[in-house]
Amino acid sequence: MLKFIFNKLLMLIPTLLGITLAAFLFVRLLPGDPVTVLTGERGVSVERKAELMAQLGLDQPLIVQYGYYLKNILSGDFGQSIATHKPVIDEFFSRLPATLELAFAAMLIAVLLGVPAGIIAAIKRGHWPDHVVMGVALTGYSMPIFWWGLLLIILFSTTLGWTPVSGRIDLIKYYFEAETNFMLIDAWRSGQAGAFGSVVHHLILPAVVLSTIPMAVIARQTRSAMLEVLGEDYIRTAYAKGLSPTRVIMVHALRNALITVVTVIGLQVGSLMAGAVLTETIFAWPGIGKWMIEAIARRDYPAVQGGLLFIAVAVMLVNLLVDVLYGWINPRVRDGK
């Protein structure tokens, strides 16, 4: 198992190298440059601009810039944000918990609703519960997130007044030190009455929005995996043993179906990050996604490069985790067969 993980990690290196190059070129291909954005509409003299560019090292040929960038990464230096002059790595990790919290909540909702919905659809195949689940899943899957988020805000926040429009906690009522930056944990540990509830209250709508697409995908995949598994010989064996339908479906069938579903969940993590960018922007959620959008707008080259690299690493680590989990629930893989 350790060898398996080590091999996987080794294979990540070329991919990561590719990502550094892609991120490096991507920011530089955007029209404009950090200095123009920083100095505003009126601009500065050509000489002053050249001076600032030189300060940032942007006057060098691209290949040289890239070389320095790589060299710095290898020594653990991911650069400083041009906008804030803070190390990119600090900027990233101070915002990561907000995104993780949101993504985790979204995934939890997606799995807790998507898996049972898929199971129900499979065992009621061709009947109305199946049609309802599949209809809703198709709608959810094709929903543009931005529009969907605004729609929910209008309904639940503006019209019904049930949920807040933005932010992570009611800042007027509660104050505590950020320790972990996971608001749920910090609020819990602060011991202030109602703080945790307020965090959940703020989290719920963005999490629902972000969960929509993965939930739809998970429901559909669970359904098709269950349908396939329910036709297997060992299901017939389980019934022949006299087990109850509930046990056959929830133990014998589901366990096998989950092998496929876990892979699908893993694949959703990448698109979850894409969804997080939009969701965080809609809900003014102070996470990685919102930070990336701002960094791109400012042409904050080091921030964008570093951010993309870290996100890529995070997605890969999650996929590695899924691989390990996959081996854990699938005995055939565990044995390296």
Partner 1 sequence: MSLLSVRNLSVAFPTQNGWFQAVEGINLTVNPNEILAIVGESGSGKSVAMLALMNLLPPQARITCDELVLDGKNLLQLTATERRRLNGGTVAMIFQEPMTSLNPCFTVGYQIDEAVKTHVGGGRKERKEQVLSLLESVGIPDPARRYDAYPHQMSGGMSQRAMIAMALAGQPKLLIADEPTTALDVTVQAQILELLLKLQQQFQMGLILITHDMGVVAETAQQVVVQYAGQQVEKNSAYELFNHPHHPYTAALLSALPERALPTGLLPTIPGLVPGQHNRPQGCLFAPRCAYQQARCQTEVPALAQQQQGWIRCFYPLETETML
Residues that bind partner 1 (CB under 8 A): 232-234, 236-244, 252, 255-256, 259, 329-332, 335, 337
Cβ(252)–Cβ(234) under 8 Å?
A: yes
**From the CB of 243, what's the least distance to partner 1, in Å?**
6
Nearer to partner 1, 130 or 186 (CB): 130
Nearer to partner 1, 42 or 332 (CB): 332
Cβ(32)–Cβ(41) under 8 Å?
A: no
Which of 139, 135, 115 minimizes the C-alpha distance to 127?
A: 135
Residue count of the chain, please give it.
337
- Beta-carbon-side half-sphere exposure of residue 146 (alpha carbons within 13 Å): 4
- Angle ∠(286,288,293) on CA atoms, nearest 5: 90
**From the CB of 239, what's the least distance to partner 1, in Å?**
6
**From the CB of 267, what's the least distance to partner 1, in Å?**
21
Give burial (CB, 10 Å; 0-12/13-18/19+) of 78.
buried
Q: If you compute the radius of gyration of the chain from its CA atoms, what whole number of angstroms results?
A: 24
**From the CB of 115, what's the least distance to partner 1, in Å?**
16
**From the CB of 146, what's the least distance to partner 1, in Å?**
41
Q: What is the DSSP string of 7-70?
A: HHHHHHHHHHHHHHHHHHHHHHHSSS-HHHHHH-TT---HHHHHHHHHHTTTTS-HHHHHHHHH
Nearer to partner 1, 74 or 240 (CB): 240
Torsion of CA 301, 306, 309, 313, to 10 degrees: -170
Nearer to partner 1, 41 or 335 (CB): 335
Nearer to partner 1, 8 or 125 (CB): 125
Nearer to partner 1, 117 or 258 (CB): 258
**From the CB of 225, what's the least distance to partner 1, in Å?**
13
**From the CB of 17, what's the least distance to partner 1, in Å?**
38
Cβ(205)–Cβ(103) under 8 Å?
A: no
Nearer to partner 1, 33 or 130 (CB): 130
